[in-house]
A and B are shown apart, each in its own frame.
Chain A
């Protein structure tokens, strides 16, 4: 089985979010980059499937040369090879089209992406990729087992979960639950050493017009200070929630 894991290279969850160039670009100064958390759950699941059933795991990123550190980390965690499509993307549909080309080249049975990235929160690339390729698609996926050419998936629904069966090839957009936080793997020294010898292939992008473009960013208006209420005066809290905030 060939598995492709799509990896976003994103600012760490604790990063300060600021913008430069008249608020048109994210300020990368002093920011640590990591594998997008939703993608990391998916990557770990791919490694688990490989250990269980045997599989070749490729990781892919559409991005600049700075994303190679993140791809090397994925290789150190246990992926077999990496592909970087060499362009700084600006639009979800554009990314999906580049990834569709990678899938057509490589012929993968299972494609795992994250439900959304924590930077642009678009939540669209996996579904668009499925649409472009005509593959089966399960979003918000929190469980998957493979048996032969059939997959049993679990997806999160509002207030519960839903189990479904589908044939491969399949695209899932995963999140926490695919594996648990404690099952995430930290690269060990041996993994880091072997990662250096694994292939990281850089491919050039195809040219497509951007469907959407970012004009500028804004930060939320500074919040007014919290209104402190005495623990002995809960009537005041209820009155404020009722009369001022109008939420009860």
Chain B
């Protein structure tokens, strides 16, 4: 009957999002009068889940699962849900969890609500609030099936400590050859750089920067803040910056704590992609730029004058608050 969560790890260590999902699931379990069980795959520090309300972890250790495989991982989660008799299965909104969740839902014949942004409004009937229309609206949805699958929107819930005694149990689900139909042959990851998906802060710049040679100050500002760099669509279209940095409706979504937009006017498609960020700062010469309508803090002025000064002041601030 427990609430089952899939806790993602990277090279054995749980990602921060695993603890966020655990925090969320604990609230749902309290509403249902049950406990939280996690399923982990090749994770080494399973005991760390106990701080966030997890009562039991099903540990899967299997060399065949060293690299991500959507079908096989979904099969593991399905079998864990069946073993636990879970009625609610909760996943994150990382690239991998977004890949798995619909497969899990079909495997369990469950209704699936993605982009869920709050704890359920009620559990009988089971109603959740999710974002829709590219963050321009919210949708209240009801899940009618016996088993429910939820995908929790990035950065929407936060971490809540809740020390719980945890039992660890080895779990060896049966996997078939059909689970491994997609074979990874190469994986390229930039290392040592904060990715847009993981970043708490994102520094983004647009055509106002006038040319790719001017991105040095953007990268420096990002370094000072421990942030990822991003750019607007026109900038990636004209090739000033790589496509992987394009954020917006057709690019990567951003749900950061702090989003700083420099020289970006704020086209509706750009705003749709970054609007779930908590705090937005805009720096633009044009006081009429639409970004000022959605930003929390704004500076009207020239980025070439402001950004270098801001870097120096932030360095001093960081040194004083270190």
Contact B198 A181 (CB under 8 A): no
Digitize A92-132: 1 where CB-to-B-CB distance is under 8 Å, 0 elsewhere.
11001000000000000000000000111111111110111
Chain A interface mostly = mixed
Contact A160 B305 (CB under 8 A): no
User: A13-B269, A230-B299, A231-B305 known; A158 and B190 CB under 8 Å?
Assistant: no
Contact B105 A231 (CB under 8 A): no
19 A-B contacts (beta carbon < 8 Å): A93-B111, A121-B132, A124-B105, A127-B99, A128-B105, A131-B107, A134-B178, A157-B187, A158-B197, A160-B187, A165-B183, A176-B246, A211-B111, A219-B138, A227-B297, A237-B299, A241-B258, A247-B279, A248-B201
Which residues 182-227 of A have a CB within 8 angstroms of B? 182, 209-220, 223, 226-227
Give the distance in Å from the alpha carbon of A11 to the alpha carbon of B137 in the complex. 14
Q: Collect the chain B residues with CB atoms within 8 Å of residue A167's CB.
A: 181
User: A124-B101, A212-B144 known; A137 and B198 CB under 8 Å?
Assistant: no
Task: Bin the interface of chain B by size.
Answer: 35 or more
CB distance from B226 to the nearest CB of A (A): 10
Contact B141 A158 (CB under 8 A): no
User: A136-B181, A176-B243 known; A211 and B134 CB under 8 Å?
Assistant: no
Give the distance in Å from the alpha carbon of A109 to the alpha carbon of B220 in the complex. 48
Please report A residues at the B interface, Cβ cutoff 8 Å: 11, 13-14, 17, 19, 26, 37-38, 91-93, 96, 118-128, 130-132, 134, 136-140, 152-153, 155-167, 175-177, 181-182, 209-220, 223, 226-231, 234-235, 237-238, 240-242, 245, 247-248
CB distance from A233 to the nearest CB of B (A): 9
B103 within 8 A of A: yes
Digitize B80-124: 1 where CB-to-A-CB distance is under 8 Å, 0 elsewhere.
000000000000001110111111011100111111000000000
Contact A121 B105 (CB under 8 A): no
B164 within 8 A of A: no
Look across to chain A and name the residue whose beta carbon is closest to the beta carbon of B94. Answer: A158
Look across to chain A and name the residue whose beta carbon is closest to the beta carbon of B276. Answer: A220
Give the distance in Å from the alpha carbon of A152 to the alpha carbon of B182 in the complex. 9
Give the distance in Å from the alpha carbon of A39 to the alpha carbon of B200 in the complex. 30
Contact B257 A17 (CB under 8 A): no
Give the distance in Å from the alpha carbon of A26 to the alpha carbon of B136 in the complex. 12
B300 within 8 A of A: yes
Give 6 new A-B contacts, CB below 8 A, not counting A127-B106, A231-B300. A121-B133, A126-B102, A159-B190, A162-B186, A212-B145, A234-B299
B45 within 8 A of A: no
Which residues 180-214 of B have a CB within 8 angstroms of A? 181-190, 193, 195, 197-198, 200-201
Contact A137 B71 (CB under 8 A): yes
Contact B185 A226 (CB under 8 A): no
